Chains A and B, each alone.
Chain A
Amino acid sequence: MPGTLTATELELTHGTGAPPPPAGAGGGEGGGAGGAGVPARAYYTGISLALAGILMFFMALVSSFIVRKADAGWQPVQLPPLLWLNTLALVASSMTLERARIHLKNRDARLFARWWGITTLLGLLFLAGQVAAWAQMRAAGVFLASNPSSSFFYLLTGAHALHLVGGVGALAYVALRGWGFAKVTQDVAADVTGIYWHFMDGLWVFLLLILYFGR
């Protein structure tokens, strides 16, 4: 498989071996960065902040949905059952991602690559399933502009899918890029990607429940 890491390469990207510390505020002694490099925990801080911003974006859409739903003339939209299968794929992908990360920590390049690859495939499966669900809706005559309920359906699922495409890109990047001369270790990159992926998974479940109970 292209981009598979050999054991030696994994050794080189290993770094200190201890799991990187989570993002902290460093109140007592200052950041302790020493001014020179960027500590690995900065990447954890960064991804958490990015998710805060993304969450506000989705919350704006969800608030709009809730506000609009309260108005008269709301025609609920029938959600295609395929969505639940897609959800299963995405939840499974989170589990396989965690499996892959454990293998990476144990320095097992082969099993890491396999389970990371399965995660990517499940992610792609989810996206394909979403596209299929949209096709089903279109076949049933329900389009973006059909009514407010359908507009929000396409909007929320579409916005989430776009962010997930970014996630799949990140999964590929972590697997395929050479980490020998990178600013962070592959561990950190995998961790950070994992945080993003799990968030997108949780966000999807939230959005689906909102759409389901709010329809």
Chain B
Amino acid sequence: MTTEAHAGHAPHVHAAPSGFIRKWIFSLDHKIIGIQYYLLSLVAVFTGMFLSLLMRFHLVYPAKPLPFMGDAIMTPEQYLALLTMHGTIMVFFVLTTAPQGGFGNYFLPIQIGAADMAFPVLNMLSFWVTFVAFVVMVAAFFVEGGAPISGWTGYAPLSALGVIAGPGLGLGQDLWIISIALFCVASLMGALNFITTVIDLRAKGLTLMRMPLTVWAWFVTAILGLLAFGVLLAAGILLLLDRNAGTSFFIPGGLVVSDKMIDHKGGSPLLWQHLFWYFGHPEVYIAILPGMGVASHVLSTFARKPIYGYKAMVYAICAIGILGFCVWGHHMFMSGMSPYTAFAFSLLTMSIGVPSAIKTFNWLGTLWGGQIHFKCAMLFALGFVSLFVSGGVDGLFLAQPSVDRPLHDTYWVVAHFHLIMGVAAIFGIFAATYFWFPKMFGRYMNETLGKIHFWITFIGVYLIFMPMHYIGMAGQMRRYPDGTGIGFVGELVGVQTFITHAAFVTIAAQLLFLVNFMWSAWKGPQAEKNPWNATTLEWTVPSPPPHDNFAGHYPSVYRGPYEFSVPGQEDDHLPQDVPPDKLKK
């Protein structure tokens, strides 16, 4: 260790760890942390899918007990608990975890030519706090009263009143809030890390406009997270105080619940809605933006063409991010707001369609005239574009307050957010997995199994969620455990049955993915450095990369990230780190 000018700086990054705990459990290596996040979200997604299967079964056979679960029939409150936990686990522990914490953590430093994130200890803390948050969330199932029933949106006053308002609203709700609060803290720490890394740790020559679109997406997503999660944390604290300290931030006066007068006054349930959705809308963009980045990246790579309109894509990502903070009121059209306020939110909401359409047309422009290779990653990226259009367009209907009036809280809304989050964003995760698996594990996933997985899933999700538009228009209410006894809704049970059958098949097909993933990680054929002939920096290092990513030889960047099929060049792809005089002509 030198003592003069360099004494203030430890040599570069943390040294490679030794010992099982330091290497695999409390690792500071962004690659290991990325895999940890990914595995956590894998557990979460199968938990969430299992909960949805229970819900789907009950919707079609409300008078039957669940198979293998004893003789008791599911109560309406238990159904509400299932949907609360399904939504919470999926939105937070899958869609906010895998794309950003999983792939973002693993590949952002490598794609910008850095050895690790700016703050590796903070990174490790972010993961473990997220892990604890998941344990606390799942614990809500096992405490007295069970899981909360107030929805992933946790609307007050239901969520604020305690056990008097229903089962699960005691300790279960408190654990839910604590879990979310921990998740907020973890996300804020992670966001800080991502943004600092992009701003300060880029390689020489890597200007902002030479960054891969994946990095842009993770960057803007992190900014959204930094600014939004603090608001949710504040809301959660206020809710905890209402529940446990006798305050009345959200509980109005004059409530009578279960024949008892509630001794609170002065609170506003609308305040919860504003706080929650001010976070909630940026949150859904946090869920989708990384998928957009991956789609751009994969489409360009497997069409052997530069992304169409790189600059426009960057501006579109930024525009979606900024506008995402201006539209939260469209979740509250039915809350009694002034029509003028509704008009303003509606206009702003529809205007997000512009950058979204720019991105969609640019994806199509990337494909046009390209030499398309239908690898699994590409199939899922194409599927992403299809599902993004489907899920986005049905949102435009909801963006009109007058149309939202009959559609609010119907299955139309369920169709919309599932198509865009529960499928498009998931397809982004699948595309990323099939694309980057060889780099992460040094082995290939099985393409045949992957293609079967794709087709069953792609057709399956359309069969599940398209009919929901129909029953939504017909008036089927969401969050109702049993509509069979209600006249016009009862007639729709045939469609619900069809949806349930499609759901069972589609979810079963995900086991194909799980088997493929697990088997290939250990037994798949060896992969080389750059199996897809891609251009970005992660494909210049071994598969899997060494501890400090570049084995001491940090790259300089000489060109943009999507130089495919450049005229006059022998290779159909130009890696970012090869100097111009070293290119084959």
Residues of chain A touching chain B, judged by Cβ–Cβ distance below 8 Å, are 12-16, 23, 25-39, 41-42, 45-46, 49-50, 52-61, 64, 67-68, 71, 73, 144-145, 147-148, 151, 155, 159, 179-186
Tell me, rounded to whole Å, the shortest Cβ–Cβ distance linking A52 to chain B. 6
16 contacts between A and B (CB under 8 A): A26-B199, A30-B205, A30-B206, A36-B12, A39-B200, A42-B197, A53-B188, A53-B191, A57-B234, A60-B231, A60-B234, A64-B234, A73-B265, A145-B245, A148-B267, A179-B8
Residues of chain B touching chain A, judged by Cβ–Cβ distance below 8 Å, are 1, 3, 5, 7-13, 112-115, 118-119, 188, 191-193, 195-197, 199-208, 210, 226-231, 233-235, 237-238, 241, 245-249, 265-268, 271, 274-275, 278, 550, 554-555, 557
A33-B201, A33-B202 given; A64·B266 CB < 8 A = no
Nearest residue, chain A, Cβ from B555: A35
**Chain B residues with Cβ under 8 A from A67's Cβ?**
268, 271, 274
> Are B191 and A29 in contact, CB atoms less than 8 angstroms apart?
no
**Chain A residues with Cβ under 8 A from B238's Cβ?**
61, 64, 155
- Interchain CA distance A149-B103 in the complex, whole Å: 45
**Chain A residues with Cβ under 8 A from B274's Cβ?**
67
**Chain B residues with Cβ under 8 A from A28's Cβ?**
207
Nearest residue, chain B, Cβ from A179: B8
**Chain B residues with Cβ under 8 A from A41's Cβ?**
200
A33-B201, A183-B10 given; A155·B554 CB < 8 A = no
A30-B207, A151-B249 given; A45·B7 CB < 8 A = no
Tell me, rounded to whole Å, the shortest Cβ–Cβ distance linking B6 to chain A. 8
Q: Which of A23, A35, A68, A184 contacts B114 (CB 8 A)?
A: A35
A12-B7, A53-B229, A67-B271 given; A30·B118 CB < 8 A = no
> Are A183 and B9 in contact, CB atoms less than 8 angstroms apart?
yes
Q: A50-B192, A67-B271 are in contact. List 9 more A-B contacts (CB 8 A).
A: A31-B203, A35-B115, A35-B201, A45-B195, A57-B230, A67-B268, A144-B246, A148-B248, A180-B7
> Are B202 and A30 in contact, CB atoms less than 8 angstroms apart?
yes
- Interchain CA distance A180-B9 in the complex, whole Å: 8
A31-B202, A39-B200, A45-B199 given; A185·B8 CB < 8 A = yes
Q: Which of A36, A53, A159 contacts B227 (CB 8 A)?
A: A53
> Mostly helix, strand, loop or mixed at chain B's interface?
loop
Q: Which of B11, B204, B249 contacts A30 (CB 8 A)?
A: B204
Tell me, rounded to whole Å, the shortest Cβ–Cβ distance linking A184 to chain B. 7
Q: Which of A36, A46, A68 contacts B196 (CB 8 A)?
A: A46
> Are B247 and A144 in contact, CB atoms less than 8 angstroms apart?
yes
**Chain B residues with Cβ under 8 A from A148's Cβ?**
247-249, 266-267
Tell me, rounded to whole Å, the shortest Cβ–Cβ distance linking A148 to chain B. 5
> Are A42 and B207 in contact, CB atoms less than 8 angstroms apart?
no
- Interchain CA distance A29-B245 in the complex, whole Å: 54
> Are A30 and B203 in contact, CB atoms less than 8 angstroms apart?
yes
- Interchain CA distance A59-B245 in the complex, whole Å: 22
- Interchain CA distance A31-B111 in the complex, whole Å: 13
**Chain A residues with Cβ under 8 A from B208's Cβ?**
25, 27
> Are B227 and A155 in contact, CB atoms less than 8 angstroms apart?
no
Tell me, rounded to whole Å, the shortest Cβ–Cβ distance linking A32 to chain B. 6
> Are B226 and A53 in contact, CB atoms less than 8 angstroms apart?
yes
- Interchain CA distance A155-B228 in the complex, whole Å: 20
- Interchain CA distance A13-B5 in the complex, whole Å: 8
- Interchain CA distance A180-B193 in the complex, whole Å: 25
- Interchain CA distance A148-B252 in the complex, whole Å: 11
**Chain A residues with Cβ under 8 A from B554's Cβ?**
34-36
- Interchain CA distance A182-B8 in the complex, whole Å: 6
Tell me, rounded to whole Å, the shortest Cβ–Cβ distance linking B29 to chain A. 15
Q: Which of B115, B188, B557 contacts A36 (CB 8 A)?
A: B115
- Interchain CA distance A12-B9 in the complex, whole Å: 11
**Chain B residues with Cβ under 8 A from A180's Cβ?**
7
Tell me, rounded to whole Å, the shortest Cβ–Cβ distance linking B229 to chain A. 7
**Chain B residues with Cβ under 8 A from A181's Cβ?**
1, 7, 10
Nearest residue, chain A, Cβ from B11: A37
> Are B188 and A23 in contact, CB atoms less than 8 angstroms apart?
no
A29-B204, A181-B10 given; A147·B266 CB < 8 A = yes
**Chain B residues with Cβ under 8 A from A58's Cβ?**
234
Nearest residue, chain A, Cβ from B264: A145
